[in-house]
């Protein structure tokens, strides 16, 4: 089976600055694939190479077996793209903008466009210049989705969208998966990735750190949980609970000096919350808060050694270059 996206040692340098280096990546057809990392990691650079908006310094990128340089027009015909920074003609209305993009593509079903506008609560009669940031984002999503492309490439698609529209966007992505479309989604929002993606890759400082199934990734996530009880509870009660470590009571460790009990406990919980929830059910809980880990937390937890090795290699290479000079 031909990969929807295949990167082979793909590198893009900007003079002395490196965008991405030696990326090897495969994305299967029909997969919702999250391409993740902090701002400046190289996500947008990779997307621009896929669409031949910029050229790789070395290596290559294939989309449905088509070379991104030699066959870029064929790739674009089969793709829908939402850039991270969307530039639109301010004097056109939303409807005129969508008809303009549809004409460039050789047409789009007006009924499909109308349904998308309704589902995303978008008023296509307003001029683009008068639209809020969120509504411009909706317009960008509609133009990417309206022709039902084989490949959707979405760069930070939900930035500026309110929660209700984000929820509808998630439904649209699920429908795209069911229809056999491939989605390549760049994001730094972990809950969104957990909600819609099948597999994820994490890129940091231009290098691919890991590729994971979402189920495996979220199953190992570490959360900080704070629980307030109606009556004092001893930290020792949570010793041995599956996945629970570092229990503190009012800032005191859960050792012999922790005291008889406290109204508020703080716990570190890794993996499933099932065991801790069942334990908490024995007590009268007043409040419970859980700080979800961000992407940096998750990947530093499980790939910190690799990141450290990459930094040490870069440092050593810099020192060798300095010695040679």
Q: Which of 153, 200, 198, 182 is nearest to 36 (CA)?
A: 200
Interatomic CA distance for residues 134 and 122, integer angstroms: 10
In a domain, 138, yes or no: yes
| Sign of CA pseudo-dihedral 49, 89, 159, 145 | negative
Looking at 171, 203, 218, which one is the last position of a domain?
Answer: 218
Q: Which residues contact 88 (CB under 8 A, 6 or more apart)?
A: 97, 128, 136, 139, 140
Query: Are 16 and 142 in the same domain?
Result: yes
Q: What is the pLDDT of residues 62-76, one digit of tens each?
A: 999 999 999 999 999
Query: Are 241 and 142 in the same domain?
Result: no
The pLDDT assigned to 293 comes to 62
Token reading at 198? 């099948």
Looking at 170, 193, 218, which one is the last position of a domain?
Answer: 218
Query: Are 180 and 232 in the same domain?
Result: no
The pLDDT assigned to 193 comes to 81
What string of pLDDT tens digits covers the 325 residues of the chain? Answer: 789 999 999 999 988 777 899 999 999 999 999 998 878 889 999 999 999 999 999 999 999 999 999 999 999 999 999 998 889 999 999 999 999 999 998 889 999 999 999 999 999 999 999 999 999 999 999 999 999 999 999 999 998 899 999 999 999 999 999 999 999 999 877 777 878 999 999 888 899 988 988 877 766 667 889 999 999 999 999 988 988 988 988 644 444 444 456 899 999 888 778 899 999 999 999 999 987 665 556 666 655 555 555 444 544 444 444 454 4
Question: How would you class 230 by CB atoms within 10 Å of its CB: exposed for 0-12, middle for 13-18, buried for 19 or more?
Answer: exposed
In a domain, 300, yes or no: no
Query: Are 28 and 77 in the same domain?
Result: yes
In a domain, 28, yes or no: yes
Return the half-sphere exposure (C-beta side, CA atoms, 13 A cut-off) of residue 143.
24
Query: Are 32 and 142 in the same domain?
Result: yes
Q: Which helix (H) or strand (E) holds 22?
A: strand 17-27
Domain count along the chain: 2
Output the domain CATH number for residue 259. 3.30.70
Interatomic CA distance for residues 24 and 38, integer angstroms: 19
Token reading at 197? 């993606």
Query: Are 153 and 286 in the same domain?
Result: no
b/e per residue 135-163 (b: at least 16 CB within 10 A): bbbbbbbbbbbbbebbbbbbbbbbeebee
Query: Are 72 and 188 in the same domain?
Result: yes
**Average of per-residue pLDDT values in the chain:** 86
Query: Are 24 and 114 in the same domain?
Result: yes
Looking at 183, 218, 253, which one is the last position of a domain?
Answer: 218
The radius of gyration of the chain's CA atoms, rounded to the nearest angstrom, is 24
The pLDDT assigned to 51 comes to 96
Query: Range of 30's domain?
Result: 5-218
Query: Are 214 and 284 in the same domain?
Result: no
Q: Which residues contact 138 (CB under 8 A, 6 or more apart)?
A: 120, 121, 122, 161, 165
Output the domain CATH number for residue 197. 3.40.50.300
Query: Are 77 and 193 in the same domain?
Result: yes
The pLDDT assigned to 271 comes to 75
What's CA 96's distance to the chain center, in Å? 31
Query: Are 72 and 210 in the same domain?
Result: yes
> Which contacts of 274-282 are long-range, i.e. CB under 8 A and separated by 24 or more positions?
275/241, 275/242, 275/243, 275/244, 276/225, 276/238, 276/241, 276/243, 276/244, 279/237, 279/238, 279/241, 280/227
Are 168 and 272 in contact, with CB atoms under 8 Å apart? no
In a domain, 31, yes or no: yes
In a domain, 304, yes or no: no
In a domain, 88, yes or no: yes
In a domain, 180, yes or no: yes
Q: What is the pLDDT of residues 95-106, one digit of tens each?
A: 999 999 999 988
Query: Are 235 and 97 in the same domain?
Result: no
In a domain, 317, yes or no: no
Interatomic CA distance for residues 58 and 79, integer angstroms: 23
pTM, entire model: 0.74
The pLDDT assigned to 209 comes to 86
């Amino acid at each position: 089976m031909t990969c929807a996206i295949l990167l082979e040692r793909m590198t893009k340098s900007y003079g002395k600055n490196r965008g991405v280096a030696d990326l090897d990546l495969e994305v299967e057809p029909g997969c919702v694939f999250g391409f993740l990392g902090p701002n400046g990691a190289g996500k947008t650079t990779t997307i621009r190479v896929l669409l031949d908006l910029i050229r790789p310094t070395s290596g290559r990128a294939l989309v449905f077996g088509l070379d991104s340089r030699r066959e870029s027009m064929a790739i674009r015909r089969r793709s829908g793209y939402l850039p991270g920074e969307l530039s639109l003609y301010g004097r056109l209305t939303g409807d005129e903008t969508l008809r303009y993009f549809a004409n460039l593509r050789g047409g789009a079903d007006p009924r499909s466009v109308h349904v998308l506008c309704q589902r995303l609560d978008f008023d296509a009669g307003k001029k683009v210049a008068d639209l809020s940031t969120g509504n411009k984002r909706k317009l960008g999503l509609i133009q990417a989705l309206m022709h039902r492309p084989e490949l959707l490439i979405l760069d930070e698609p939900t930035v500026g969208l309110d929660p209700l529209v984000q929820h509808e966007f998630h439904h649209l992505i699920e429908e795209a998966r069911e229809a056999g479309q491939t989605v390549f989604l760049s994001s730094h929002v972990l809950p969104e990735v957990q909600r819609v993606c099948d597999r994820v890759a994490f890129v940091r400082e231009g290098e691919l750190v890991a590729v994971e199934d979402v189920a495996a990734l979220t199953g190992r996530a570490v959360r900080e949980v704070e629980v307030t009880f109606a009556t004092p509870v001893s930290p020792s009660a949570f010793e041995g609970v599956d996945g629970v470590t570092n229990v503190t009571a009012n800032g005191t460790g859960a050792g012999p000096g922790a005291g008889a009990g406290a109204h508020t406990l703080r716990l570190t919980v890794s993996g499933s919350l099932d065991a801790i929830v069942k334990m908490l059910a024995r007590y009268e809980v007043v409040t419970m808060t859980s700080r979800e880990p961000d992407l940096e937390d998750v990947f530093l937890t499980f790939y910190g050694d690799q990141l450290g090795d990459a930094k040490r290699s870069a440092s050593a290479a810099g020192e060798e270059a300095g010695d040679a000079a």
